[in-house]
Structure 1
Amino acid sequence: MPKTGGGAIMKTAVVICPGRGTYNKAELGYLARHFPDEALLAQFDEQRRSGGQALLGELDGAARFSVAMHTRGDNASALIYAATLGDFLSIDREAIRIVAVTGNSMGWYSALACGGALSAQNGFLVANTMGTLMQQSLIGGQLIYPFMGENWQPHRERRADLLALVDDISMRPDHALALSIDLGGMLVLAGNEAGLSAFERAVEPVQERFPMRLGNHAAFHTALQAPVAERGREQLPPSLFAQPDLPLIDGRGAIWWPGSSDPGALWDYTLGHQVVETYDFTHAMEIAAREFAPDLFILTGPGTTLGGAVAQSLILAQWRGMGGKEDFKARQEKAPLLVSMGMEDQRGAVTRRA
């Protein structure tokens, strides 16, 4: 087993890149606090400037957080990508050996850059372009609803019942509804207003907040996004993509291995299936655990909201015998399995020290 310069044993890690909805009020100033390369950030802002978009420095340095401004697809995607990549670059590679990278939804674009299939600049171009196209079209919407209880114990029958309801609604005239993201103990659903409203009427409110509409979110990962996928393929050529340096686990749970991946197929998946079909984050996490068996799962920033879905996905996979929230908490207290870089008290465990 590899050792660090000081003789300590290196830990292996799967890195997880978060998606939309993770740069919120608490994350304002995240890039100023944590991004390690001012010159690279300036290159990202040059892309934004050439497109007439607000600069990352202006958005991240705003006096106050604005839902209308910061959660727009064209702004949120750029902020989240930059924050994610900055955290990835800050991981102490002398103490941590990264064995694979995955992500949730938009986090796939970040994962491509972290894993070397896109350069940092081209990754930003992909994330910023797709976020902008989504915002310009803003087709449909999303909502989130749990099938796990607050104790995070698997409830597969409940999940099946909810998906049957989704199928029933989707068959009604002028109703569009589908599973957008399989997100641990949550179902992220997407569709048109008729489909989303029908689901909201059919289910009981739970935990005093679900079903929850997601603001400024389109019907990601459904057939409604076909026009966005087409425009993305027109604007982002296959030549942007290369062989990954690290194994990449996509939204189907498929692994793209260094040295044996087809960059053209990676482009085709990223701007095809990944845009218009369900993103199975739960399965991606199961593959990450079973195929790579890392010591740690490192969740980059911004934000910490994906941490619950990571833990729930590991519970659903029965990873290391975990059967619910108490099992996960006990495991975390004994020897942390999940490190969230968006939490100041945890990021120091995996970042380089000055």
Structure 2
Amino acid sequence: MSTRKTALVVAPGRGTYGKGELGSIARLHGARFPDLIANFDAQRTDRGQPTVTELDGADRFSVATHMRGDVAAPLIYTATALDYLSIDREKYDVIAVAGNSMGWYSALALGGAVSVADGFRISNAMGLNSQTHGPGGQILLQVVDEDWRPVPGLRDALFALVDSIAARPGHALVLSIDLAGMLVFAGDEAGLAALLAEAPPTPGRDPLRLAGHGPFHTPLMFGSADKAKAELPAGLFSAPAIPMVDGRGHVWRRFSSDPAAVWDYTFGHQILAPYDFALSVQVAVKEFAPDVIILPGPGDTLGGAIAQSLIGITWQGIAGKGDFMARQASDPILLSMGRPEQRALVTG
């Protein structure tokens, strides 16, 4: 009988490569994966872009540079993909993958629907394409209390307000990403301004306009979708080697997935419609019942959203932050590779 633990791997998205991650790609992976890093660097050079090695090796972290889509995306993909390749397969059997927003492009490579090199090609292109959109952006709002339990009525009140704002002439506003304990709404400038002005009190933090983010996962991203389909052909895709759970909670399986359909979802619905990250995690744990969830780097900021997604379905009796922290202390269910002590458990 195998002693390996089964694992769901969840790829992070935008905002996870920050000041603390500068230099981490070279430090963690430079000696082990020089050929892959060289391939990624060559792809950037061919497009006249600074290489991953140059960006990761900068003297200091620059918000203006490192948080820009065409820089953040390849850095995040590189860190995620190389972390994934570092998982000790003698200890963990990866049975499914998922991702948050931009992390879906990483999940394609982790799941084997595209090669690791083509996954970088896609992430790099989409980092640039993500800047092709109508005017607007995203706002993040918290909807859980300090124990990560839903604030009664708050989610419904926000959706009602957003529907009201979107019905006004000259206003665009819709759900962008559902992160369980947090909601991201996106729209044009008029819609965003109205939401900031009229949002009810929220716990923990004030509504936050996400710097450098466009109106992702909305119809305002039509330019990005059009460019993606023109630049990134369906021939890059194949059937996944392991199941992938997308932003609708749909499971793409090895023997029943049409590569052309994965391509169409990736550069259509995934760009233009809301991304339900919470549902993707909930479907994945209910469908595959993993022993652990592994969160590759960079960083570990997605850990809270994963935990809150589990709380949303009381997975294995986890009904609040206290339950989750107790479980982490006794028998960790979430292993974040951005945390050195948990990384050691994953890589051996």
Taking structure 1 as the reference length, the TM-score comes to: 0.95
2:11 maps to which residue?
Answer: 17
**2:136 pairs with one of 140, 151, 157:** 140
User: What displacement does 1:139 show?
Assistant: 3.9
- State the SS of the aligned residue for 1:260: coil
Q: Using the alignment, how far apart are the partners of 1:222 and 1:254 within structure 2?
A: 19
**2:23 pairs with one of 29, 34, 53:** 29
Q: Using the alignment, how far apart are the partners of 2:204 and 2:198 within structure 1?
A: 16
User: What displacement does 1:292 show?
Assistant: 0.7
Q: Using the alignment, how far apart are the partners of 1:244 and 1:174 within structure 2?
A: 42
Percent sequence identity over aligned pairs: 53
Q: How many positions carry a matched residue from both structures?
A: 346
Q: How does 1:43-192 map to 2 (within 5 A)?
A: 43-137=39-133, 139-155=135-151, 157-192=153-188
Q: Using the alignment, how far apart are the partners of 2:151 and 2:191 within structure 1?
A: 24
Describe the superposition over 1:135-186 as per-residue Cα deviations: whole angstroms up to 9, x where unpaired.
2547421110011112101336321111111111111111111100000210
Answer whether contact 2:137 2:188 (CA < 8 A) is retained.
Answer: yes
Structure 1 portions without partners, runs of 5+: 3-8
Answer whether contact 2:13 2:99 (CA < 8 A) is retained.
Answer: yes
Aligned amino acid, residue 249 of structure 2? G
2:198 maps to which residue?
Answer: 202
**144-153 or 203-212, which moves further after superposition?**
203-212
Q: Using the alignment, how far apart are the partners of 1:154 and 1:246 within structure 2?
A: 33
Q: Using the alignment, how far apart are the partners of 1:137 and 1:121 within structure 2?
A: 26
Describe the superposition over 1:54-109 as per-residue Cα deviations: whole angstroms up to 9, x where unpaired.
11111100010000000000000000000000100000001100010000000000
- State the SS of the aligned residue for 1:350: helix
- State the SS of the aligned residue for 1:93: coil
User: What displacement does 1:207 show?
Assistant: 5.1
Q: Using the alignment, how far apart are the partners of 1:253 and 1:268 within structure 2?
A: 16
Is 2:238 aligned against 1:242?
yes
Aligned amino acid, residue 281 of structure 2? M
Answer whether contact 2:107 2:244 (CA < 8 A) is retained.
Answer: yes
User: What displacement does 1:205 show?
Assistant: 5.1
Q: Using the alignment, how far apart are the partners of 2:136 and 2:172 within structure 1?
A: 9
Is 2:333 aligned against 1:337?
yes
- State the SS of the aligned residue for 1:252: coil
**1:292 pairs with one of 276, 288, 302:** 288
Q: Using the alignment, how far apart are the partners of 2:131 and 2:57 within structure 1?
A: 22
**2:313 pairs with one of 281, 306, 317:** 317
Taking structure 2 as the reference length, the TM-score comes to: 0.97
Answer whether contact 2:177 2:276 (CA < 8 A) is retained.
Answer: yes
Q: Using the alignment, how far apart are the partners of 1:205 and 1:48 within structure 2?
A: 44
Answer whether contact 2:112 2:242 (CA < 8 A) is retained.
Answer: yes
Q: Using the alignment, how far apart are the partners of 1:287 and 1:190 within structure 2?
A: 24
Answer whether contact 2:177 2:274 (CA < 8 A) is retained.
Answer: yes
Q: What is the CA RMSD across the aligned residues, in angstroms?
A: 1.2
Answer whether contact 1:154 1:324 (CA < 8 A) is retained.
Answer: no
Structure 2 portions without partners, runs of 5+: none
**27-36 or 336-345, which moves further after superposition?**
27-36
